[in-house]
Structure 1
Amino acid sequence: MQFTIRAVRAEEWPLVKELRLAALQDPVAPIAFLETYEKASVQPDSFWQGRTADAAEGRTVRQFIGEDGAGRWLGSLTVLVEQAGAEDYFGHLLEAAQTHIVGVFVRPEARGTGLAPALFDAALAWSWGLSEPKIDRVRLYVHEDNARAQAMYAKAGFRRSGVTVDAAAGREFEYVVERD
């Protein structure tokens, strides 16, 4: 399968919305995402426009997509910049700046094609390319029962850090990649 990896563009908000809603209907969505289909599907267009514009700008967040030759979006992930001294989503104080990968989704027909590793490569390259703040660590969280995602993250070079958090759907493991 041929695909291209690139950052989203602000005007592509309808595609961002469609892919996110598809992700939230995946069978593992209740343990993979902190958002529900019911909540996301009623968001106004202005929500999706703002979300996409921020991710396209790429200062504190960047969304990457994989698309096929016909322009169909096959998968996506988003990278958030977490500043030193700030609290993360789980209320932990961050000692150093890092990036945090969220919203990883690959359509079923594109799984096992190399798309996920290519998305992670783009996320890591963007993270390492930031100069302010300089990033030496990229992380993500995965539910303890999401073996498919754990295997995918390990193949992309992420390793369990030993940090766990309790989230609404259960225990989450932190996976990290550190700059060489």
Structure 2
Amino acid sequence: MDHVIRAVRPDEWPRTRELRLDALRDPAAPVAFLETYEAAVAYPDTVWQERAAGFSARQGIRSLEFVAEAPDGRWSGSVAVLVEEAGREDFFGGTVERAQGHLVGVFVRPEHRGGLVIGGLVAAALDWAWALEDPRLARVRLHVHEGNPRAAAAYRKLGFVPTGVTVPMAGDPSAKELECAIARP
């Protein structure tokens, strides 16, 4: 693979914003992301700065975002890992039973889909998650829309297994998000 997979630096928040807005304009965005372009474009710079720095003051969540950087410097994709600590409320209103990671914001530009970029991004995210000691994460999970079979297949290929847990899709309770997870090795 000719891409470098690396963590986003705090000063790269404008590039983080640009890539996320590109992702939210992608045709797959309605089944891939819980936020909309219209909402994200209105965020103040502080939201993007927090994302790039790896901590959301308003949500109290630690995270790290990874990017796939092409030889020409263009960002081809990204993924973020959120640290969900035991006893805290998760994004869906439940309680986190054990410390875990949560992959979010997975995006690969269309011209790089089906290749090695997603595997590199997820591998970097998992390496970081497993290296954490406080808290020590038991697993990493993600959610995939039931109407996004291409993404579901990619996650299965990377080792994620459906857990049987489903949650209603935000904005359309008739649609479901399927939880998949990978246990700590």
TM-score (norm: length of structure 1): 0.94
Q: In structure 2, what is the Cα distance between the partners aligned to 1:35 and 1:129?
A: 29
- Structure 1 counterpart of 2:58: none
- Structure 2 counterpart of 1:33: 33
Map of 1:43-58 to 2, 5 A cutoff?
Answer: 43-54=43-54
Could you tell me the percent identity over the aligned residues? 54
Are 1:175 and 2:180 an aligned pair?
A: yes
Alignment check: 8 A CA contact 1:117 1:155 kept: no
Per-residue CA deviations over 1:15-60 (Å, capped at 9, x if unaligned) read 10110000001111111111000111122223212221226xxx82
TM-score (norm: length of structure 2): 0.92
How many residues are treated as equivalent by the alignment?
177
Unaligned runs of 5+ in 1: none
Q: Secondary structure of the equivalent of 1:145?
A: coil
Q: Secondary structure of the equivalent of 2:12?
A: helix
- Structure 2 counterpart of 1:123: 125
Alignment check: 8 A CA contact 1:82 1:99 kept: yes
Q: In structure 1, what is the Cα distance between the partners aligned to 2:29 and 2:40?
A: 12
Per-residue CA deviations over 1:68-112 (Å, capped at 9, x if unaligned) read 111100000000000001110111111110000000000011112
- Structure 2 counterpart of 1:95: 97
Q: In structure 1, what is the Cα distance between the partners aligned to 2:158 and 2:177?
A: 18
- Structure 2 counterpart of 1:60: 62
Alignment check: 8 A CA contact 1:61 1:79 kept: yes
Q: In structure 1, what is the Cα distance between the partners aligned to 2:149 and 2:140?
A: 20
Map of 1:126-165 to 2, 5 A cutoff?
Answer: 126-165=128-167
Per-residue CA deviations over 1:133-158 (Å, capped at 9, x if unaligned) read 01120000000000111011111110
